[in-house]
Amino acid sequence: MLFLGGSLLSSCSHTKALVDPYALAPSLPNAMWQIDAEDSCLLSSKYFTTYIPKDYDDHDLSLAELIDIALYNNFNIKSSWAEARSKAAIYAQSEAAYLPKIDASAKYQRERQTFSLSETFTIPYLLTTTGPEMQITYTLLDFGARKASSDAARKSLLFADLTHNRTIQTAIQIVMDDYYTYLYEKERLLALEADVENASVTLQAAEEKGRVGVFAAGDISQAKTHFIQKKIAMIGQKKATLRQFSQLAKDLGLPANISFNVQPLPKKVVVKSCIEDADLLIAKAQKCRPDLQASIAKVAEKKADLVKARSGHFPKVDASFDLGKYWYDHAQDEDYHWAFLLKLELPLFEGFMVENQIKQKQADLEKSAAELLSKELSVVSEIQNARTNLIAAKDALGFTEEYLKEAKKQFRIATENYRLGVNTILDVLSAQSSLADARAKLAEAKKNWYQSLAEIAYSTGAFGFTEEVL
């Protein structure tokens, strides 16, 4: 009884489900289920370790360092890598069909038999038989089924390998996009801080004129309103900057509450004057885009599957050879024994199974061919859009730099003229708004330029390839 009671207590979770199953569900329709602590723990740390450089907080991390962190931590990369290794093992299994199958066994048999001396008198005796056995089996001819299976597995492996390559490129693209967006948000924050400083200068100028009694009614109120608007915008931009930092940390595979700094963008942006022709970029993509090559491999895999399905109509020839030797009681043994078997299997009728398998594989091939066409069109569209964005970003960068230069000059003149009483506070606020807009547009133009360069590299599949390959 004590043992039984202890067993029941040790398996209380199971007995609880048997005795009171409703206890394992919400008690009321409007009540939430409370998860047990043992069911709510995170398991990921048991299987993967997060990579963080030891000196990550001692210096500003470069884009290359951020990419290294992401490539180590990214769960999509880990998944695609495991998938590629699985497909490699499957391909190796398909290659085993080219080798003979060898089985070895050992036999020990004890049996009771009888020896008849007459119709009414028999003598029972025990017989023991022992001995090893070896059998070799090999498929001599299957009209391409074995080769088709191997080819299909090989193309499936190639698809997984190329998909892994594209997964790495996608991870790089995401980190680069996060990096440039985060630096853009930081630059926007600096621009808004400068806007607040300019609004403070305007407010001081209005207050100075107010103290001497030379100003239009409402100048101080207008300047103060504009100053507060910029302060509110700066607060909102701080939030946007922190949110983008959290996104960057997440895509690096790091907790969002970690703290690190990244290298800023160069103060002077070097704009590439020559942008390659779209046809040349498309030619590079046809050679370097892993997902495009993966789609081609998928079509080849489906072709091999179709060949394998068609081989079901043809005969199969197998050969086997069996060799062994037995020992009996009283030290008796045989010399050895062997048997050779040549077997021909000819499928006559399987309920239209083979015919329907052929139709299925034919449909799969047509589907993969259509997906390849869709991928080709998508690649061309992505490259064309990326090239258009790069051209637009190049032009916008030049104009925004000139815009900021003139806006600074306009604000300085407007402020000086206001102090001299030549213009109104509205002229100063208008110039200040133009300056703020110019700063914001320049920050966005820088981000768009760098992101467009990354987009060109991603759309052509250039990540991970040397210049010689391109």
Both 327 and 232 in one domain: the answer is no
Is residue 212's pLDDT more than 60? yes
**What's the token pair of residue 129?**
């038989």
Residues 245, 293, single domain; the answer is yes
What pLDDT does residue 180 have? 94
Distance in angstroms (rounded) separating the CA atoms of residues 470 and 467 = 5
Same domain, 331 and 428: no
Question: Is 180 contained in some domain?
Answer: yes
As a whole number of angstroms, the distance between CA 107 and CA 153 comes to: 38
Q: What is the pLDDT of residue 447?
A: 92
CA separation for the pair 178, 248 (Å, rounded): 5
- pLDDT for 410 equals 92
154 has a pLDDT exceeding 50: yes
pLDDT over 70 at 47, yes or no = no
Query: Helix or strand or coil: residue 115?
Result: strand
Does 396 share its domain with 423?
Answer: yes
User: The pTM is what?
Assistant: 0.78
Structure confidence by residue, pLDDT tens digits, 265-317: 887 787 766 688 888 999 999 888 999 999 999 999 999 999 999 988 889 89
- Both 400 and 448 in one domain: the answer is yes
Q: What is the rounded distance in angstroms from the CA atom of residue 447 to the CA atom of residue 183? A: 8
Asked if residue 206 belongs to a domain, the reply is yes
What would the two tokens of residue 271 be? 């704009």
Helices (H), 289-424: 290-310, 353-420
Domain count, the chain: 2
Distance of CA 379 to the CA centre of its chain: 19
Q: Tell me how crowded residue 61 is: count the other CB atoms within 10 A of its CB.
A: 20
Structural domain boundaries, residue 209: 63-93+147-313+357-460
Assigned domain for 339 exists: yes
Instruction: Say if CB 439 and CB 404 are below 8 A apart.
Output: yes
192: which residues sit within 8 A by CB, 6+ positions away? Answer: 230, 233, 234, 237, 436
Tell me, yes or no, whether 118 and 203 share the same domain. Answer: no
Radius of gyration of the chain (CA): 39
Residues 6+ apart with CB under 8 A from 136: 100, 101, 102, 320, 321, 322
- Which stretches of 236-306 are assigned E, i.e. beta strand? none
pLDDT of residue 244: 95
On the 0-12 / 13-18 / 19+ scale of CB atoms within 10 A, 417 is: middle
Band (468; pLDDT cuts 50, 70, 90):
very low
pLDDT tens for 329-382 read: 766 777 788 888 888 888 888 888 889 989 999 999 999 999 999 999 999 999
Check residues 142 and 215 and name the one with the higher pLDDT: 142
212 or 101: which carries more pLDDT confidence? 101
Quick check: is 45 in a domain? no
Q: Are residues 245 and 139 in the same domain?
A: no
- Span 65-74, mean pLDDT? 90
Question: In one letter, which amino acid is 192?
Answer: L
Q: Is residue 9 part of a domain?
A: no
Q: Do both 405 and 297 map to the same domain?
A: yes
Q: Tens digits of per-residue pLDDT, 4-40?
A: 444 444 445 555 667 777 777 777 776 777 666 555 4
In a domain, 1, yes or no: no
Alpha-carbon distance of 130 to 138, in angstroms, equals: 27
Q: Which pLDDT tens digit goes with each residue over 287-301? A: 889 999 999 999 999
The pLDDT tens digits for 155-185 are 999 999 999 999 999 999 999 999 999 999 9
> Would 106 be classed as within a structural domain?
yes
The CA distance from 126 to 114, in Å, is 8
Within this chain, do residues 110 and 252 fall inside the same structural domain, yes or no? no
- Which helix (H) or strand (E) segment holds residue 341: the answer is strand 337-345
- Tell me, yes or no, whether 115 lies in a domain: yes
Residue 374 maps to which CATH number? 1.20.1600.10
Let me know whether 69 and 129 are in one domain: no
**Which 3 state secondary structure label does DSSP give 446?**
helix
**264 and 284 co-located in one domain:** yes
| Strand residues in 245-336 grouped as ranges (E) | 316-324, 327-328
DSSP 131-192: EEEEEEEEEEE-TTHHHHHHHHHHHHHHHHHHHHHHHHHHHHHHHHHHHHHHHHHHHHHHHH
- Average pLDDT score, the chain: 84
* Co-location of 291 and 181 in the same domain: yes
